[in-house]
Amino acid sequence: MNGTTTTDSTQSRSVPRIKFTYQAALGLLLIALIVLFGILQPVFFHLNVLFDTTSIVGEIGIMALAMTFIITTGGIDLSVGYILQLSAIVFGAVLKSSGSLALAIVFSLAAGTACGFINGIIISKTKIPPLVTTLATMNLFRGVSFIIAGTSSYAGFPAGFKLISTYLVFNAIPVQFFYFIFLFVFFNLVYSRGSLGRSLKGIGFNEGVLIFSGIRTKRILLLIYTLCGLMCAIAALIYLGRLSAAKTSMGNDLNLQVITAVVLGGTSIMGGVGSMVGTFIGVLIIGVLRKGFTLVNFSGNIFNFTLGLMLIVALIVFAVIEERKKTSGRILK
């Protein structure tokens, strides 16, 4: 139903198959990357190193799942990195002042959800487009996180807390990977076979017709942005567990990673077309890249650079495919 490209005249019946083909190609790319890094640094093939790649996908992945919803509607959320940052700071601040882990978790989740809600309200109730909205709120959330934290950072989290991110299942696989898979299953189900998923795609194509069909699009938009905020907060907790510190510099790079994962996975930036499976693989690719780069001693900045390049190339490629589709003309009369 949401094919990205089609070249033969046995059209739409093959559309699901085409979609599968793109994601399959993406999967092949993943494998190719693993092989490549393995050749460069044979230690890469060790199972625990391999599994370690999934350690960072916890944060990115969970945010990317929610971001897929948003981009499918033709929108975008540039503030995700800073929602995470704000939630993390809130966690640190509350923990420091109250000593209660539970309270810190609750407040942190609430903060993230509130941020998402702010985005959602503005986007669904006013005519300000998601781009401008999140461009502005990104600064807002960043500023608030600074206001709360000052220039300090928080550290010294209780040992038990670290476990939520560092526990190794079967002594090998980071537990975050399971969080990711767990959430992925739900998100994918709703996205590909749920009425929500279909509505999202519809909004991305033509919101007007959906309103006309009785679907409450504004409510849906409010929901997905709020959900995104919540996901960022959850991701923040996982991130904190891994890093054991909350700093005011966390937000910067995350945006790029999340958006690249989604776009790479085949979700169109114009909306309407998308794949949660693609996002899943995209996130894994980013994880592998990150780990691989570290192993071959490439800095974090080369990583960002590569990611930026990948995003641009992916956008260009998809845009070209869209153009070709438009000019290929009708097949059935």
Partner 1 sequence: MPEVVLQMEGINKTFPGVRALSNMSIDLRRGEVHAVCGENGAGKSTLMKLITGVYQPDSGEIRLNGQPLKVHNPNDAYAKGIAIIFQETSLFPDLTILENIFMGHELRRPLAGIVRFLSFLDYPAMRKKAGEIFGRLGMEIDLDARVSQLSVASRQMVEIAKALSFDSSILILDEPTAALTSREVDTLFETIKKLRTHGVSMLYISHRLDEIFQIADRVTVIRDGEHVQTGDVSRVTRDQLVAWMVGRTLDNLYPKEDIEIGEVVFEARNMRQEGVINGVSLTLRRGEILGISGLAGAGRTELALLLCGLARPDSGEILVDGTRVAIRNYQDAMERGICYISEDRQKYGLVVPMTISENITMPLLARLSGFLGIINSSKEREISATYIDNLAIKTPGADFVVNNLSGGNQQKVSVAKALATEPRILILDEPTRGVDVGAKSEIHRIISSLARAGKSIIMISSDLPEIMGMSDRVMVMKNGARQGELPRSALSQEKILHMAL
Partner 2 sequence: MAKKRVTSREFMLGALVLAFIVFLSLTTGFGSTSGIFSMMLDVSPTIVGAIAMSLIIFTGNIDISAGTIMGFVGFVAAVFAKAGYPFYVFVSAGVLTGMLLAGLNGWISVTFKVPSIVVTLAMNMVHIGFYVTFLPNAGWVLNLSDSFTFLGQGRFFGIVPFIFVIAIAVAALCIWIVKYTKFGKALYAVGGNRQAAIYAGISPDRTVLTVYLVEGLLLGIAGILKATTANRLMPSVFQGREMIFIAAAVVGGVNIMGGSGKVLGAVFGAVLVYLLSITMIYLGFQDYFQFALQGIIILIAVFITVTDFAPLRKRLKKAFAPKKAT
Which option in partner 2, partner 1, none does residue 12 bind, with CB closer than 5 to 8 A by kind? Answer: partner 1
Read off the DSSP letter of residue 96. Answer: H
Which option in partner 2, partner 1, none does residue 146 bind, with CB closer than 5 to 8 A by kind? Answer: partner 2
Site residues for partner 2, window 276-305 (CB under 8 A)?
299, 301-305
Q: What is the dihedral of CA 94, 61, 225, 83, to 10 degrees?
A: 30
316 is a contact residue toward partner 2 (CB under 8 A): yes
Tell which one of 28, 31, 48, 323 touches partner 2 (CB under 8 A). 323
Question: Which uninterrupted H or E stretch holds 169?
Answer: strand 168-169
Q: Which stretch binds partner 2 (CB under 8 A): 41-49, 123-131, 158-166, 234-242?
A: 123-131
328 is a contact residue toward partner 1 (CB under 8 A): no
Site residues for partner 1, window 183-242 (CB under 8 A)?
186, 189-190, 193-196, 198-199, 201-202, 205-206, 208-215
Q: What is the dihedral of CA 63, 67, 68, 72, to 10 degrees?
A: 170
Q: Which residues pair with 174 in a beta bridge?
A: 168
Q: Tell me whether residue 184 or residue 291 sits nearer to partner 2 (CB atom).
A: 291
CA distance 226 to 228: 5
Intra-chain end-to-end CA distance of the chain, in Å:
19
Q: Which residues contact 232 (CB under 8 A, 6 or more apart)?
A: 63, 66, 80, 83, 84, 87, 112, 115, 116
305 is a contact residue toward partner 1 (CB under 8 A): no
Q: Which stretch binds partner 2 (CB under 8 A): 51-59, 231-239, 256-264, 279-287?
A: 256-264
Show the site string, 139-168: x = touches partner 2 by CB under 8 A, - = not: xxxxxx-xx--x------------------
Closest Cα partner for 173 from 17, 287, 286?
287
Question: Which uninterrupted H or E stretch holds 241?
Answer: helix 217-243
Read off the DSSP letter of residue 74. Answer: T
Q: Tell me whether residue 18 or residue 315 sits nearer to partner 1 (CB atom).
A: 18
Site residues for partner 1, window 29-58 (CB under 8 A)?
none
Per CB under 8 A, residues contacting partner 2 are: 76, 78, 122, 126-129, 131-133, 135-144, 146-147, 150, 248, 255-256, 259-260, 263, 269-270, 299, 301-309, 311-312, 315-316, 319-320, 322-323
